Amino acid sequence: MQPRLSPRHTPGPLSLALRLGALCLPLAGSPLLQAADKPAAPSSPATASNPESAVNKDELRKKLTPLQFEVTCNAATEPPFRNAYWDNHAVGLYVDVIDGEPLFASNHKFDSGSGWPSFFKPVNKASIIEKEDRTHGMVRVEVISTKTGAHLGHLFPDGPRPTGMRYCINSASLKFIPVADLEKAGYGKLLPLFEESASGASKAAEAPASKPAQK
């Protein structure tokens, strides 16, 4: 397990940030690691992961920031502790930065200590694809947006109850919509998602028993 990174130890330039994915290791002997001991599927560009919903990269270059483009389309990793949502405690919805598909909710967000936004489950399991990733000489589980094929991050079995999972996601793949803006933004049907009691959400997001591996 890698030591926790702190702001003063994180690399600055984007070129170094793109290599941080090598620090994202699953726990030894974990179910995810064992399940991945099958022949590797080739790692495809994000826009090719779902041919029916492939997006135009040229158009995305105009719409997204350089970092957003590198993360979503080229599976880059943003710097930990220096990204938009790792320390965001506001109530609201996290959607795909490309097409606005609901992906994660603040109710399911927890502080993993990794420096990236972490969630113990998605809003709808059908909105994401979990794919074997053998890049950087490791076996991991990549998390991809189903509709756009955007790279989101990776999945690890070291999260809190009730799922025990940690969806370690790049802020650059997401757009945050505060709960007060959901109705006008067209997400009114998801308002009941945020009616969970604060105590229930707090219990569900108890800290993991051990420090999670870094992204």
152 in Cβ contact with 173 (< 8 Å): yes
Active-site position among 20, 24, 71, 168: 168
Give pLDDT, residue 211: 55
State the Cα–Cα distance between residues 44 and 50, nearest whole angstrom.
Answer: 10
168 is catalytic: yes
- pTM for the model stands at 0.71
Read off the DSSP letter of residue 104: E
Residue for token pair 């702001």: 7
152, pLDDT greater than 90: yes
- Structural domain total, the chain: 1
34, pLDDT greater than 50: no
211 domain-assigned = no
- The closest alpha carbon to 154, from 131, 175, 177, 138, belongs to 131
Q: For the segment 80-90, what is each residue's pLDDT rounded down to a tens digit?
A: 999 999 999 99
Q: What is the CATH number of the domain that holds 140?
A: 2.170.150.20
Structure tokens at 198: 């604060």
3 domain-assigned = no
1 domain-assigned = no
146: containing domain: 12-37+44-204
Higher pLDDT, 158 or 34: 158
State the Cα–Cα distance between residues 184 and 103, nearest whole angstrom.
Answer: 18
Kindly list the strands in the beta sheet with 109-110, ordered across the sheet, starting from the edge strand earlier in the chain. Answer: 109-110, 118-119, 166-169, 151-156, 140-145, 128-133
